[in-house]
Amino acid sequence: MTITEDRPSDAATPEIGRSRARKEDQRLITGRTRWTDNIQLPGMLHLAMVRSPFAHATVTAINTDEARKAPGVVGVITGADIKDVQGAVANAWPLNGEQKTPNHLPVVVDHVACAGEIVAVVAARTAAEARDAAELVDVDYDELPAVLDLKEAVKDEVLAHPDLGTNTSAVWTLDSAAQGSGTDVEDEIAAARSDGVVIEREFRQQRLIPAFMEPRSTVCDPTGEQMTVWSSTQVPHILRFLVAATTGIPESKVRIIAPDVGGGFGGKLQTTPEEFATIAVARRLGKPCKYTETRSESLLSGHHGRDQWQKLTLSARKDGTVTGLKVELLADLGAYVGVVGGGVPVLGAWMFNSIYKFAAYHFTVRTLLTNKTWVDAYRGAGRPEATFAIERMMDELAAELGRDPLEVREQNWITHGEFPFTTVAGMTYDSGNYEAATAKAKELFGYDELRAEQKHRRESNDPVQLGIGISTFTEMCGLAPSRILGALNYGAGGWESASIRMLATGKVEVLTGVSPHGQGHETAWSQIVADRLGVPFEDVEVLHGDTQISSKGMDTYGSRSLVVGAEAVVRAADKVIEKAKVVAAHLLEASVDDIEFTGGRFGVKGTDKGVTMPEVALATWTGHNLPDGVEPSLDADATFDPDNFSFPHGTHLCAMEVDTETGATTMRKYVCVDDIGNIINPLIVEGQVHGGLVQGIAQALWEGAEYDDQGTLVTGSFVDYTLPTSADTISFVTDHTTSPSTYTTLGTKGVGEAGAIASTPAVVNAIVDAVRAFGVDDILMPCTPERVWKAIQKGRSVPGEGERDAQPHFDEGVPNQDPGAATEGSQA
Amino acid sequence: MIPAQFDYLAPTSVADAVAALAEHGDEAKVLAGGQSLLPILRMRLNAPGVVIDLGRIPELQGVSEDGDHLVIGAMTTYAAVLASEAVTTHAALLSKAIATVADPQIRHRGTVGGALVHADPAGDVGAPALALGAELVIAGADGSTRTVAAEDFFEDLFATAVGEGELLTQIRIPKHTGWGAHYEKFVRVSHQWSIVGVAATVRSEGGSIAEARVGLTNMGSTPLRARSVEEALVGQPATDEAVRAAVASVNDGTNPPSDLNGDSDYRKHLATVLTRRAVLAAAGA
Ligand SMILES: Cc1cc2nc3c(=O)[nH]c(=O)nc-3n(C[C@H](O)[C@H](O)[C@H](O)COP(=O)(O)OP(=O)(O)OC[C@H]3O[C@@H](n4cnc5c(N)ncnc54)[C@H](O)[C@@H]3O)c2cc1C
């Protein structure tokens, strides 16, 4: 990575493409800013939550007497107290009309469906007093049997929500034959069974926790005409809508502010029980209230991510041409269907076929309720799962054929000349160049040299084996065309909104409907607007995250901010220019048609006459000399609804060393060449790629949320939920190729999730590649040293395992089988 | 993460600290670097009425030499131990082990005494203390002191010979000048407690191992000393083959836990591999 110094603006060099250090860094890094927990209001009370220790229980009695008497306590509120006013935690994306969606109350009234659910809220003058009093609330529970395991849940023997009669929330299918985008996958598999290759595997996407840096916090001030809520959220606009929709408070009476927010990774795109509880208690007591969670509460009660079993059947001809892919998923939703919880696996439905040209494709997901923390979007949401599955399968196919895995991929991928390309899943990829990214990655990686070293280590029986993992990923982001969302039964649109305000002094305010939480939007948007309007970077102020200021928006997730949100900004800027042109022409006594706008100056063609944007802004503000009928304002709004998704892609190559004596793995080299279209700020992109890579690598190697058989989260602190730090990672080699998006002005594609989507299979493929010679063809994630070592022992103990028949058929009627049973046991 | 309310005392001498302990009995808890105690208080796993901070007691600080012993004050931080040339010279094993504890922030707060009394079997200080034959000086209520051998100090999970009303004041370590040392810590992420750790220190003579000391971290409810390995190593050349054979008995008397990082059998396997590596590295092979 190159550190590039901040350069002052000079009109000659475009801002777009500059590695500007982020405007927001100083205040964010020093913490001298408006983190929600920094907010203090006069008379503000502090809340502490009383949470259920049981995974599944009926609340039979709550005695709050002792707590009420404790020093500083102003109120102890139970679910029954606010039953009719607390609103509900909503699901915005029912997969279909039959979906079972348990009612999700912020503070439970009688039924606890997972450990950590809130049963009472204590309000006190200080946070310490609230915490002390919370210990005194006496709750009686009748424990109910809990269903914790996904495959147990399928059987419907123990129910997470007995009143629903089943644990299945929904079943959703996409089939290429049925929708006319390809052939029938069963035919292709049957053909391959008789004269081809069939690869069958089952993979586990373990449960992950989106461990954002800033724990969640909410302040609600119920006094005044508009209730004001500050919250550490990714989605202030969605929160406003859902507060209004579920509590009955008129939307016009609700102002939501997401001040500076310290990370989210999807974990803050939820409207949370804690937000609703804080609002309900503040309104009931008529006082401002603050709730800030502890890290333990965050790990337990913020939504979790992933958690699927993936059963995959891939058919190919003997020459390596893939003919079909069948995907059957079980997805654990946890105790409730989150805001897009059920939809997350479905977001992967179009991506299992990835960059390849398969004839047939089938996808089914069964979403299931269990008595664990609810699951929703986590960086990548659906696409990491899909990418993992297909990229692992392509390696398995190559291994079965005894061919180089890159070569097998190339044989099957969409070639450069074939764009735009409509896939077997029905998406139209607008642009891309898999050959270029792969060629560059191979060279940076030293692919042939590392393959030679691998061969040497194998032949010399080195205790440290080397493996090479590949992930040629694509993903769909830039959520989303509203019409497609409508067709999918999603509860909102996917457009984005922006406004530009031209101030009298020539400064520019940009209002954006997306809601940054660490991405650096203020910097990138300033660069874009500086170029567009020809004003200095420093003169652009980006305002966001307050429904009273940037009143419309769909917020930030799904790598949509730049692709959709900044496109709205560009369109608003273009409207400003059009309005300013009219004023400039008038001031210059020229015809509008003769005005040219370049470098921030309106000039008259063929003359040296001109006025600058700030001069036009001032003239407009005074209103002294405007053309007849022209309003004294250059301000403009734009709302952009994309026509398509954005399809970034890239080639990631990873070399892993495996110590066969201990199972320890060490990353040797990681190269990624991403194609994310045009780049606004290379430094920010680098940061997004690095962070994403580490999160994806962490899924492969380190992270995993584990419960005991009582439904208690065992990985409830950072002692056991092993997040990596910089000491655990190596220096990544990152580079780019560029295939601009064809349907946006800026030609950008999303990058926020790319690293996390691509890296997981690259790492696991590398580990499996390193030990495949021992008869290993899969290792459960996280690939702990113990699992790697045991896989080697198991492979070694089965004679001929290395060359075994690669067509084990899934047992009839079994929903999924467990390839990792031998090592899973140790996780109890 | 707010602890329950407690009173705070900061005595400036061991005598005052011991007196305060006597006064408050089991209501009181001693605070050293706080790196284990504070998380416990903040998670409300313990709620002492009085916290007695040892941080203002000069006599508990620092490293000194006393003839053929090193003397480390109980309140000496990891960072101070790492900076001590005396420790590097005469008890290299302790430095090597301490260098692997957590991260620099924690090493600037956490103390050797706190770590030993906390007695987490996954902690990295117990095994080297045991291997080096450390003696622990304990101050009692009546102003008396007693000295306990490391072997007798660790009683069980989180339990030591330091009784109610007592303080650990000093760690006395026989000098192992000229001994090679290595601490082999096995973790999944860098800031983790040992899944298994092996502390080995070796005196070589004419190309073979003359004496060896081996301590094991997280292979039982207390740190363990692998005496049979120590004996088997005497007189052996520092070769892979010889050491491999000598460490075969390392699991005699071990009873490692099973958890998310690995089951008991896996830990036993690790112990054999890591002990071989630690001994070879200590012997400079
Ligand atoms: C994130 C993190 C990672 C860590 N990683 C590691 C690691 O990798 N390896 C490792 O070994 N440790 C690790 N630790 C623990 C660390 O080493 C602690 O500092 C140590 O265990 C306790 O030392 P302390 O001085 O902080 O003691 P404190 O936390 O202050 O006290 C610990 C206990 O000892 C008692 N006590 C302290 N001093 C005395 C005394 N003189 N006499 C009598 N009783 C006393 C206290 O009452 C308390 O019960 C980690 C800690 C953290 C927070």
**pLDDT computed for residue A316 by the predictor:** 98
Residue A790 carries which DSSP code?
Answer: H
Give the DSSP per-residue string, A572-598. HHHHHHHHHHHHHHHHTT--GGGEEEE
Please identify which residue in the block is written with the tokens 């995250």: A545
The more confident residue out of A816 and A188 is A188
- Confirm whether A430-476+645-802 and A482-640 share one CATH topology: yes
Domain A430-476+645-802 class, CATH top level: alpha beta
**pLDDT computed for residue A804 by the predictor:** 43
All residues of chain A having their beta carbon less than 8 Å from the beta carbon of residue B275 are none
Residues B67 and B140 in one domain: yes
pLDDT one-digit tens code per residue, A203-248? 999 999 999 999 999 999 999 899 999 999 999 999 999 999 999 9
Edge-first strand listing for the sheet containing A733-736: A464-474, A649-659, A665-675, A733-736
Tokens of A415: 């070639």
Percentage of residues in chain A having pLDDT higher than 70: 95
Please state, in angstroms and rounded to a whole number, the distance separating the CA atoms of residues A471 and A473: 6
Cβ–Cβ below 8 Å for A790 and B44:
no
b/e burial code for range B202-240 (CB count within 10 A of at least 16 → b): bbbeeeebeebbbbbbbbbbbbbbbebbbebbeebebee
SS3 A470: strand
Position B54 pLDDT exceeds 80: yes
Please state, in angstroms and rounded to a whole number, the distance separating the CA atoms of residues A790 and A272: 40
The CATH number linked to B91 is 3.30.465.10
Give the count of alpha carbons within 13 A of A748, CB side only. Answer: 25
Q: How far is CA B262 from the centre of its chain?
A: 22
For residue B79, being part of any structural domain is answered with: yes
**pLDDT computed for residue B1 by the predictor:** 74
Confidence tier at A516 by pLDDT (50, 70, 90): very high
Q: How far is CA A731 from the centre of its chain?
A: 24
**B5, B188, B260 member nearest A827 (Cβ):** B260
What is the rounded average pLDDT of the residues A425-434?
98
**pLDDT computed for residue A809 by the predictor:** 57
**pLDDT computed for residue A725 by the predictor:** 93
Cβ–Cβ below 8 Å for B261 and A724:
no
For residue B103, being part of any structural domain is answered with: yes
- The residues with which A721 forms a beta bridge, in sequence order, are none
Find out whether B130 and B224 touch, Cβ atoms under 8 Å.
Answer: yes
Please state, in angstroms and rounded to a whole number, the distance separating the CA atoms of residues B198 and B96: 11
Residue A353 carries which DSSP code?
Answer: T
b/e burial code for range A523-555 (CB count within 10 A of at least 16 → b): bbbbbbbbbbbbbbbebbbbebbbbeebebbbb
pLDDT one-digit tens code per residue, B236-275? 999 999 999 999 999 999 999 999 999 999 999 999 999 9
**pLDDT computed for residue A796 by the predictor:** 87
Cβ-in-10-Å burial (0-12, 13-18, 19+) of A97 comes to: exposed
Q: With helix as H, strand as E and coil as C, how does A12-54 read?
A: CCCCCCCCCCCCCHHHHHHCCCCEHHHCCCCCCEEEEEEECCC
Tokens of A121: 């809220």
SS3 A744: coil
Q: With helix as H, strand as E and coil as C, how does A421-477 read?
A: EECCCCCEECCCCHHHHHHHHHHHHCHHHHHHHHHHHHHCCCCEEEEEEEEEEECCE
Give the DSSP per-residue string, A187-233. HHHHHHHHHSEEEEEEEEEEEE----SSPPEEEEE--SSSEEEEE--
What is the rounded average pLDDT of the residues A754-759?
97
- Using CB distances shorter than 6 Å, the residues near ligand 1 are B 29-37, 39, 54, 74, 101-102, 106, 110-111, 113-115, 117-118, 120, 123-125, 162, 167-168, 191, 193
Tokens of A34: 């408006």
Cα angle, residue A242 at apex, residues A240 and A246 outer, rounded to 5°: 125
Where does a domain end: B173, B205, B233? B173
Phi and psi at residue B110, to the nearest 5°: -65, 145
The more confident residue out of A11 and A458 is A458
How far is the alpha carbon of B16 from chain A, nearest alpha carbon, in Å?
A: 30
Where does a domain end: B173, B195, B224? B173
- For residue A412, the one-letter residue type is N
pLDDT one-digit tens code per residue, A471-490? 999 999 999 999 999 999 99
Torsion of CA B66, B68, B69, B70, to 10 degrees: 80
Nearest CA among A231, A132, A170 for reference residue A366: A170
pLDDT, mean over chain B? 97
All residues of chain A having their beta carbon less than 8 Å from the beta carbon of residue B263 are 786, 826
For residue B1, being part of any structural domain is answered with: no
Find out whether A333 and A405 touch, Cβ atoms under 8 Å.
Answer: no
Instruction: Check if B48 contacts A (Cβ < 8 Å).
Output: no
State which residue of chain A sits closest to B2, comparing Cα positions. Answer: A128
Confidence tier at A811 by pLDDT (50, 70, 90): low
Enclosing domain of residue B127: 58-173
Find out whether A763 and A655 touch, Cβ atoms under 8 Å.
Answer: no
Count of residues making up chain B: 285
State which residue of chain B sits closest to A292, comparing Cα positions. Answer: B1
How far is the alpha carbon of B124 from chain A, nearest alpha carbon, in Å?
A: 15
How far is the alpha carbon of B68 from chain A, nearest alpha carbon, in Å?
A: 38
Helix axes A566-587, A521-533, angle to 10 degrees: 30
pLDDT one-digit tens code per residue, A394-423? 999 999 999 999 999 999 999 999 999 999
Please identify which residue in the block is written with the tokens 């492979």: A795
Position A798 pLDDT exceeds 90: no
Please state, in angstroms and rounded to a whole number, the distance separating the CA atoms of residues A466 and A444: 18
State how many domains chain B has: 3
For residue B2, being part of any structural domain is answered with: no
- Cα distances (Å, whole numbers) of residue A258 to A261, A334, B260: 7, 27, 37
All residues of chain A having their beta carbon less than 8 Å from the beta carbon of residue B1 are 294-296
**pLDDT computed for residue A812 by the predictor:** 56
Domain A482-640 class, CATH top level: alpha beta
Nearest CA among A364, A149, A245, A789 for reference residue B272: A789
The CATH number linked to B213 is 3.30.390.50
**pLDDT computed for residue A823 by the predictor:** 38
Q: What is the ipTM for the molecules in this complex?
A: 0.97
Please state, in angstroms and rounded to a whole number, the distance separating the CA atoms of residues A355 and A357: 7
Please state, in angstroms and rounded to a whole number, the distance separating the CA atoms of residues A503 and A634: 9
**B43, B191, B274 member nearest A296 (Cβ):** B43
**pLDDT computed for residue A797 by the predictor:** 83
Cα angle, residue A209 at apex, residues A205 and A211 outer, rounded to 5°: 140
SS3 A420: coil
Nearest CA among B232, B173, B209 for reference residue B282: B209
Count of residues making up chain A: 828
pLDDT, mean over chain A? 94
What is the rounded average pLDDT of the residues A103-125?
98
Domain chopping of chain A, boundaries: 430-476+645-802, 482-640
> From the CA of B34, how far away is ligand 1's center (Å)?
6
> From the CA of B104, how far away is ligand 1's center (Å)?
14
Tokens of A793: 């022992």
Residues B200 and B167 in one domain: no
All residues of chain B having their beta carbon less than 8 Å from the beta carbon of residue A698 are none
Please state, in angstroms and rounded to a whole number, the distance separating the CA atoms of residues A213 and A302: 13
Please state, in angstroms and rounded to a whole number, the distance separating the CA atoms of residues B164 and B152: 17
All residues of chain B having their beta carbon less than 8 Å from the beta carbon of residue A728 are 189-190
Please state, in angstroms and rounded to a whole number, the distance separating the CA atoms of residues A653 and A446: 10
State which residue of chain A sits closest to B43, comparing Cα positions. Answer: A296
**pLDDT computed for residue A821 by the predictor:** 38
Residues B167 and B189 in one domain: no
**pLDDT computed for residue B141 by the predictor:** 84
